[in-house]
Chain A
């Protein structure tokens, strides 16, 4: 059973960089794609982007200039960096696996971590 857990600061100051890590257990990060999705409080879901097990990244054009997703196969982790944050970036951030077994859909998710952007 794959398990995923987000970690990182819960509070980030405006204009700084939000950095989150997702640790994957019960499965290898050396296959499938690894995604970040966010959900502002009380609102819907937004697909931030994903990284393949080969390291190829795909970013949402609305965020492309500010995001970096990277992979650390030695630790079975992947990470999200979002620069120049504003209050609009306040959200619950989820990591998820995009699985070939589920035809490219998100079949395992972390529990989510709330990141608040505030001074």
Chain B
């Protein structure tokens, strides 16, 4: 199965700063890469799919990029509600797998 490696494990930033998270699949997933946001005690929320398409209702400060084996999620200017854990997921090859998560915490 495809292993997704996310980095960094934790990112400490202040509101207003830019966050960039990385996701590297162990083999090419084309553009079939999705990003979810999860807050404590909540279900994950769909943010970005097909590497760069924002899901319905997702603010424009969230953007995704990349293809193949190198992807990034960027939050252009962190809002207080953006501090959470972010997971990438591939749906190129079954079983679809998730990365281990990257936590964005308040500095």
**CB within 8 Å of B: which residues of A?**
44-47, 58, 60-62, 94, 96, 102-107, 109-112
Q: In the complex, what residues of B have CB within 8 A of residue A94's CB?
A: 43-44
Q: In the complex, what residues of B have CB within 8 A of residue A61's CB?
A: 95
The stretch from B19-27, B49-57, B68-76 touching chain A is: B49-57
Per DSSP, chain B at the interface is loop
A47 adjacent to B95 (CB under 8 Å): yes
In the bound complex, what is the Cα–Cα distance between A65 and B75 (angstroms)?
41
Q: In the complex, what residues of A have CB within 8 A of residue B55's CB?
A: 102, 105, 107
In the bound complex, what is the Cα–Cα distance between A60 and B98 (angstroms)?
13
In the bound complex, what is the Cα–Cα distance between A94 and B89 (angstroms)?
16
**CB within 8 Å of A: which residues of B?**
34, 36, 42-46, 49-50, 53, 55-56, 87, 89, 91, 94-101
A106 adjacent to B95 (CB under 8 Å): no
Q: In the complex, what residues of A have CB within 8 A of residue B91's CB?
A: 104-105
In the bound complex, what is the Cα–Cα distance between A110 and B44 (angstroms)?
9
Q: In the complex, what residues of A have CB within 8 A of residue B56's CB?
A: 102, 107
Q: Pick the contact of B46 from A44, A62, A107, A110 — CB < 8 Å?
A: A107
In the bound complex, what is the Cα–Cα distance between A103 and B97 (angstroms)?
16
Name 28 A/B residue pairs within 8 A (Cβ), A-sorted: A44-B87, A44-B98, A44-B99, A44-B101, A45-B87, A45-B89, A47-B89, A47-B95, A62-B95, A94-B43, A94-B44, A96-B43, A102-B46, A102-B49, A102-B56, A103-B49, A104-B91, A105-B46, A105-B49, A105-B91, A106-B34, A106-B36, A106-B44, A106-B46, A107-B46, A107-B56, A109-B44, A110-B43
Asked if A103 meets B42 with Cβ closer than 8 Å, knowing A44-B98, A44-B99, A47-B95, the reply is no
